[in-house]
Amino acid sequence: MHHLFASLALIIAGLFSGPMAMAAEPVQSYDDSEDEGEDALLTEARDSLQRGNPAVAVTLMCRLTAHNPEDALAWAMLAEAHEALGQRGEAEEARARV
């Protein structure tokens, strides 16, 4: 069920970031039992931002901040991704959590 909502969020985010934002970029599955999962999501989100695909970064960081609301780096990266999408209000909200 969680994956369904994550996929839906990715699709919706892509609608607001242009037609090429949803290019065939796989989203890593998150495994609660592995600490490396958080690092992998951060790395994948950073790579998505560098490739000009902030919608994917928003989706990944929303998943990570939902799982670990104390992760300041995830909130900072979420703010950066929202800023890249021109979503200043959301970016400010995320920055307030850092």
Q: What is the pLDDT of residue 36?
A: 77
pTM beyond cutoff 0.75: no
Q: Is 2-16+37-96 CATH 1.25.40.10?
A: yes
Question: Using one digit for the tens of pLDDT, what is the confidence trace for 4-53?
Answer: 455 545 555 555 554 444 444 555 555 445 567 889 999 999 999 999 99
Of 37, 88, 28, 32, which Cα lies nearest the Cα of 59? 28
CA–CA distances in Å: residue 34 to residues 3, 49, 70 = 17, 24, 17
Burial of 46 (0-12, 13-18, 19+ CB in 10 A): middle
Q: How many CB atoms lie within 10 A of CB 62?
A: 21
